[in-house]
Amino acid sequence: MKNIARNQNVVFLGTSLPRECGIATFTQDLLDAFVHIPGFNTPRIIAVNNNETYHYEQQVLREIDQHKLADYIDTADFLNTSDVDLLVIQHEFGIYGGESGEYLLPFAQRLSVPYVVIFHTVLTKPSPKQQHIIQRLAELSAQVVTMAQSTVADLTAIYGLEAAKITFIHHGVPDVKTASREALKQQYGFAGRKILSTFGFLSPGKGIEYSIEAMRGVVKQHPDSLYIIWGKTHPVVKLETGEVYRQMLMDRVDAFDLQSNVLFVDKLLTQEEVIQSLVMSDIYMTPYLGKDQAVSGTLAYGVGYGRVIVSTPYRYAQEMLAEGRGLLAEFRDSASLEACILQLLGNPSLVKEMEDRTLKLGITMRWNEIAKLYAALFQKNIKQPALTKRSVI
């Protein structure tokens, strides 16, 4: 029997920095927050690798080749004979091997260590394979975590999970101290301008072309406005199609004569730069095209820092911008985006009201608060592991 008085050992399975991946950043932020949580040793990571070579820090305990099933089996055996008290599986279909990441199933079935699974994507129309993977991972787990209220209902209705096995915890947001909005604008050379921004990896699903087109009408009334698009092209997109999407966006800026009102910052931002980009923004934009997107880390960051947000009405945006925390424009509709932007730029008192409402939710999403929720969840499931449904293969 484990001695529960000692510090507990938690290991995360997923991607790890320096791999350029949102889940790797999420994991790192949660690990960093756990430094301040009593009762736990510093968590470690089992890093899942694609075809690249990464130089990991000491926090990476072990590596798995995404496409080698034997690595998953060996790692399960390693965990079963280790002093690990709980495994946390960061689940996203694309980062694990086999069809839809099915190599996770023999791994999970072989484990005797209890695990919690965090579902970063919950599809409303899964393939039979995807549905089976989610159902089986959940069945074998001690608890599952989802980061949107709407996906709690999906997990019960579509995947048949018991509601008692599902925990909702907001996507965490780092707590970074910065200068004021005006001071940051001065620092970056944007003093006196109205800043609109989007950050994150560029990919065609982001819908940024519609925001650029919306700027044509915005600058006629607010010639001082500047739309800043922060971030590199997504590594997978760049590998498959190069910079085709970015070039299309830049060509559109030229065609609309918006060179003075749209700026691209083609780099992977540090955490501090991400937060600075948000704090200096008067409006944050997520004009995404995917209607069913259940979670967006970038939108969570915008809410976390109390920005006024203009977004298309994908599922996560509808949930997070409810109760007057932002404005929703139509999908693929630059005129609708333009109308929302002009409504805000022409009404400073409305902007202030929205910022206050958004920040009230946002401060509950900082990692120091979110980590406490995870710590309580982990501690509960370390003490009461649910292993009765496991089978050994």
What is the predicted pLDDT for the residue at 318? 97
- Which tens digits make up the pLDDT trace of 246-257? 999 999 999 999
Partner residues linked to 12 by β-bridges: 45, 88
Q: Where are the beta strands (DSSP E) in the chain?
A: 10-14, 44-49, 60-65, 86-91, 115-119, 143-146, 166-168, 194-199, 225-230, 262-265, 283-286, 309-311, 326-328
pLDDT in tens, 41-67: 999 999 999 988 999 999 999 999 999
| Dist. CA 24–CA 218, nearest whole Å | 36
Angle between helix 22-34 and 367-383 (nearest 10): 80
Q: Cα(17)–Cα(93) distance, rounded to whole angstroms?
A: 19
Alpha-carbon distance of 338 to 79, in angstroms, equals 53
pLDDT digits (tens, 9 = 90+) for 181-228: 999 999 999 999 999 999 999 999 999 999 999 999 999 999 999 999
pLDDT at residue 284 greater than cutoff 70: yes
Give the burial class of 125: count Cβ atoms within 10 A of its Cβ; 0-12 exposed, 13-18 middle, 19 or more buried: exposed
At 392 the pLDDT is: 36
Answer yes or no: is pLDDT of 386 > 70. no
Whether 389 has a pLDDT exceeding 90, the answer reads no
Go through the domains of the chain in sequence order and give each one's CATH number: 10-172+367-383 (3.40.50.2000), 181-365 (3.40.50.2000)
Tokens 């209607």 belong to which residue?
A: 291
